[in-house]
């Protein structure tokens, strides 16, 4: 037997592989004979506003013949109270078992403390599943194909299903009642089985007299008789559509000189001005932004079901003689849309939500607006690099779900940001209005790779516009010191040369986070390739002679060789081919 503290706990037993986080709380990328079964199984602590607590610890591994065990634990001490936690793992070639224990000396307020299981889309999508309920009754059902607006499975004690590759799995849960939600609503590439049921009150309190004890056991009942489909060589065209208009967004608050300068420098297709009418100075700020934002505008109004007429009447004089691609009335009803058409004749009026696709998906009826809108960010349930990359995978399925359900086929998506702009699910007014702190990756290439992957995922004839980030600042495309971020370089190039051009999305079999945007120019084709996984891969280029290539760096695009083309982790490359 050997024992070690591991910062990169890769565990492998007879074809069953997983990666254990350094703190030992989460096992990720659980795969069997090459098929990813689960994005992860792990212990999480969510605060009263659904924020995920950091759990500092270091796992200790013990390796012996046919088995690996790991243990970890730590303590939290915050305003919600104290919490002591521990997790123990056992991994063999036929099983992954996790046990967790948590207790508090003074009491701890939480929305969720316990295990979650993230079923990988490729393995589970549309597959039949037998759900055992807490009373022993077995329900035969399926993982949803389209994005389910509400939980597809409730009251879960166990689940049994066969994956797409043919592996037969059983999950058993102890210590709490579990249920499943479709995380594609928030752009995660998984279905999540979690505790505790959302129908129970939250926040709830872990009292000093109680102890949380839970178990999740994954059993491999049988293996596939054939290996998963091997990766192909060249890319396949997934879909073709006109390239959308790309823009950026000014959030509620005062406009700055650097924002106005950045809007002019970037030369994007539009600027979305977000208005929060609950702010006392909203009208003065909106007027200043309209004056500062060169080029076409879109006005996005939060909570537009209340006081819409008065808001629009106050705003209308500011919009005279300004080209507007739309006025979005988030959370509006029919009366609000009718008032907007009366006050702003000839203006394209949108409805929808300033929050996640979830809110749009869960509504049974939207007003008959000209377009519908929603926003997005890749860090709702996790903030690691891999999670950001993962959120580009289900975007095509989100669009398919929207088209199957929504009455309006014109879509404008965004603003999209790395962190929450505001939290509609927080349990206090302050929590709902609070935006996330700036993400240090805003100025890194990973942010640009996420932009490219998101554009590829949302490329569709019905998607008219996509808005990203802010023009400048710590959440912007250009830093306050004037330095362009990689995302700024990429968006400016895509916007200036590609808007309205015929574009195709390319995908490579076996690489769900490798995507290409091939755009037809007058005398050449441009190919933007983005890779959103922490590995380097060889890339087979489309047929033809690609004469030049550039790679995006923290300071902009630089030349690179075309021959023997490969791409690194979270990278973006740009190639040209004469036509």
Spans of all domains in the chain: 2-222, 237-501, 506-578
Give the separation between CA 166 and CA 229, rounded to whole angstroms. Answer: 11
Q: Which of 421, 26, 352 is nearest to 190 (CA)?
A: 26
User: In the prediction, which pLDDT does 1 show?
Assistant: 44
Whether 552 and 486 have beta carbons less than 8 Å apart is answered as: yes
Tens digit of pLDDT for each residue in 219-247?
999 999 865 555 567 899 999 999 999 99
Q: What percent of the chain has pLDDT over 70?
A: 96
pLDDT exceeds cutoff 90 at 24: yes
For residue 535, what is the DSSP state? S
Whether 331 and 366 have beta carbons less than 8 Å apart is answered as: no
Give the separation between CA 512 and CA 306, rounded to whole angstroms. Answer: 42
Q: What average pLDDT does this structure show over 16-34?
A: 94
The yes/no answer on whether domain 2-222 falls in CATH 2.70.98.10 is yes
Alpha-carbon Rg for the chain, nearest whole angstrom, is 24
**What residues pair up with 132 in beta bridges, in sequence order?**
138, 158
Highest-scoring range by mean pLDDT, 159-168, 202-211, 413-422: 159-168
CA 331 distance to own-chain centroid: 22
Tens digit of pLDDT for each residue in 337-367?
999 999 999 999 999 999 999 999 998 888 8
49: confidence class by pLDDT, cuts 50, 70, 90: confident
**3 state SS of 166:** coil
User: Which tokens hold the place of 450?
Assistant: 């996420």
Q: At what angle do helices 334-343 and 308-319 cross, to 10 degrees?
A: 30
Instruction: Name the residue with higher pLDDT: 405 or 88.
Output: 88
Tens digit of pLDDT for each residue in 426-447?
666 776 777 889 999 999 999 9
Give the separation between CA 356 and CA 534, rounded to whole angstroms. Answer: 26
Give the separation between CA 149 and CA 359, rounded to whole angstroms. Answer: 8
579: confidence class by pLDDT, cuts 50, 70, 90: confident
Do 237-501 and 506-578 come out as alike in CATH topology?
Answer: no
User: In the prediction, which pLDDT does 230 show?
Assistant: 57
User: In the prediction, which pLDDT does 7 show?
Assistant: 42
Checking DSSP bridges between strand 35-46 and strand 26-32, what pairing results, if any? Answer: antiparallel
User: In the prediction, which pLDDT does 226 show?
Assistant: 67
Give me the CATH topology for the region 237-501.
TIM Barrel (3.20.20)
**What residues pair up with 246 in beta bridges, in sequence order?**
466
Give the separation between CA 287 and CA 292, rounded to whole angstroms. Answer: 9
pLDDT exceeds cutoff 80 at 378: yes
Q: Which of 20, 216, 219, 21 is nearest to 99 (CA)?
A: 216
**3 state SS of 33:** coil
5: confidence class by pLDDT, cuts 50, 70, 90: very low
Specify the CATH architecture of the domain 506-578.
Sandwich (2.60)
Tens digit of pLDDT for each residue in 146-189?
999 999 999 999 999 999 999 999 999 999 999 999 999 999 99
Whether 44 and 33 have beta carbons less than 8 Å apart is answered as: no
What average pLDDT does the chain have?
A: 93
Tens digit of pLDDT for each residue in 480-516?
899 999 999 999 999 998 999 999 999 999 899 999 9
Tens digit of pLDDT for each residue in 448-479?
999 999 999 999 999 999 999 999 999 999 99
């Amino acid at each position: 037997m050997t024992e070690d503290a591991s910062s990169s706990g890769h565990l492998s037993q007879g074809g069953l592989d997983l990666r254990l986080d350094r703190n030992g709380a989460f096992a990720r990328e659980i795969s069997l004979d090459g098929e990813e079964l689960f994005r992860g199984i792990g212990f999480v602590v969510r605060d009263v506003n659904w924020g995920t607590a950091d759990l500092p610890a270091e796992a200790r591994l013990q390796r012996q013949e046919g088995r690996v065990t790991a243990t970890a634990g730590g303590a939290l001490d915050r305003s919600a109270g104290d919490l002591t936690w521990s997790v123990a793992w056992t991994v063999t070639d036929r099983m992954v078992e996790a046990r967790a224990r948590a207790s508090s000396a003074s009491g701890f307020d939480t929305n969720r403390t316990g295990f979650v299981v993230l079923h990988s889309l490729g393995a589970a999508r549309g597959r039949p599943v037998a759900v055992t309920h807490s009373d022993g009754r077995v329900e035969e059902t399926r993982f949803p194909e389209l994005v389910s607006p509400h939980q597809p499975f409730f009251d879960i004690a166990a689940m049994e299903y066969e994956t797409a590759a043919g592996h037969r799995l059983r999950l058993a849960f102890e210590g709490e009642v579990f249920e499943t939600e479709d995380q594609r609503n928030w752009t995660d590439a998984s279905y999540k089985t979690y505790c505790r049921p959302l129908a129970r009150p939250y926040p709830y309190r872990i009292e000093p007299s109680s102890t949380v004890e839970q178990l999740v056991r994954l059993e491999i009942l049988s293996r596939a008789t054939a290996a998963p489909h091997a990766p192909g060589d060249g890319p396949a065209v997934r879909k073709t559509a006109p390239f959308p208009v790309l823009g950026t967004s000014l959030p509620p608050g005062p406009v700055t000189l650097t924002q106005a300068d950045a809007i002019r420098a970037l030369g994007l297709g539009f600027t979305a001005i977000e208005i929060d009418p609950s702010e006392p100075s909203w009208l003065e700020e909106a007027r200043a932004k309209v004056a500062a934002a060169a080029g076409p505008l879109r006005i996005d109004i939060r909570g537009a079901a209340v006081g819409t007429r008065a808001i629009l009447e106050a705003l209308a004089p500011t919009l005279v003689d300004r080209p507007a691609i739309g006025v979005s009335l988030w959370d509006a009803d029919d009366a609000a849309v009718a008032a907007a058409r009366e006050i702003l004749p000839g203006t394209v009026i949108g409805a929808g939500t300033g929050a996640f696709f979830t809110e749009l998906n869960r509504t049974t009826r939207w007003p008959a607006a000209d377009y519908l809108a929603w926003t997005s960010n890749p860090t709702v349930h996790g903030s690691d690099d891999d999670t950001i990359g993962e959120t580009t995978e289900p975007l095509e399925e989100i669009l398919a779900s929207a088209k199957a359900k929504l009455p309006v086929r014109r879509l404008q998506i965004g603003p999209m940001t790395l962190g929450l702009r505001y939290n509609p699910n927080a349990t206090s007014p302050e929590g709902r209005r609070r935006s996330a702190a700036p993400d240090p990756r805003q100025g890194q290439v990973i942010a640009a790779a996420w932009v490219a992957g998101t554009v590829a995922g949302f490329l569709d004839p019905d998607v008219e516009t996509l808005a990203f980030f802010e023009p400048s600042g710590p959440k912007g495309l250009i830093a306050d010191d004037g330095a362009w971020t990689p995302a700024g370089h990429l968006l400016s190039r895509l916007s200036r040369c590609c808007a309205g051009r015929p574009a195709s999305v390319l995908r490579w079999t076996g690489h769900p986070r490798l995507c290409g945007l091939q755009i037809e120019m007058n005398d050449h084709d441009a190919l933007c390739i983005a890779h959103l996984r922490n590995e380097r891969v060889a890339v087979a280029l489309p047929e033809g002679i690609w004469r030049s290539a550039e790679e995006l760096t923290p300071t902009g695009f630089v030349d690179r060789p075309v021959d023997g083309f490969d791409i690194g982790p979270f990278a973006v490359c740009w190639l040209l081919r004469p036509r």
